[in-house]
Chains A and B, each alone.
Chain A
Amino acid sequence: MNIFRLAGDMTHMFSVLVLLLKIHTIKSCAGVSVKTQELYAIVFATRYLDIFTSFVSIYNTFMKLVFLGSSFSIVWYMRYHKAVHRTYDREQDTFRHWFLVLSCLLLALLIHEKFTFLEVLWTFSLYLEAVAILPQLVLLQRTRNIDNLTGQYIFLLGGYRGLYILNWIYRYFTEPHFVHWITWITGLVQTLLYADFFYYYFLSWKNNKKLN
């Protein structure tokens, strides 16, 4: 464990808890894409299957439970909680995210480190996490409301990915044979997606304009 990874995990946990807490408190999910939240729930469900079979550390297991619990709770709120569901922007959140799931699954069947059930699903979860933010970014551009709820959420998610890249650089130089191309490439692609968002977010903030 290194400071970059710990900071990354904390930022990631904070991003999902901020979102869950806000939805719970103001009973609204305006501007939030439920499709992105469903993709994240699938990412965690397929990545943390080993939670029952292998034990890494208390920290690891605890964090997995936090991510699983928060992502499924957010989906539940947005889909089944009456007050929150009413504020969901169904007309604008139209990204066909099941195609993302399908293409990531096919890609995982083609490119993986080992062809075992757990390993293919784990690789699938990496590919899916890289593109999971797309429905949210599309919704953001459509509704143009970069209100604090989604802005902070995406900012923290981007921060978590950036810290993870620093973590991989650190581990590469401190641990022999720490080479995981798939993790690195998908992590880089995901961070680049955020970089694009940050560029426009910063511009809209600097010029005090609506996000375009």
Chain B
Amino acid sequence: KEFDAAHDEL
């Protein structure tokens, strides 16, 4: 989950 939060940018 933390992967998504940190990498929600393109």
Residues on A facing B (Cβ under 8 Å)? 5, 9, 12, 50, 54, 56, 60, 63-64, 67, 113, 116, 118-119, 122, 164, 167, 180, 183
Residues of A within 8 A of B7 (CB): 50, 122
| Other-chain contact of B8, A56, A113, A119, A164 (Cβ < 8 Å) | A56
Chain A to chain B contacts (Cβ below 8 Å), 14 pairs: A9-B10, A50-B3, A50-B4, A54-B3, A56-B4, A56-B8, A60-B8, A60-B10, A63-B10, A64-B10, A113-B6, A116-B3, A167-B9, A183-B9
Residues of B within 8 A of A122 (CB): 7
Q: How far is the CA of A118 from the CA of B7 in the complex (A)?
A: 11
B contacts with A, residue count (CB < 8 A) = 7
Residues on B facing A (Cβ under 8 Å)? 3-4, 6-10
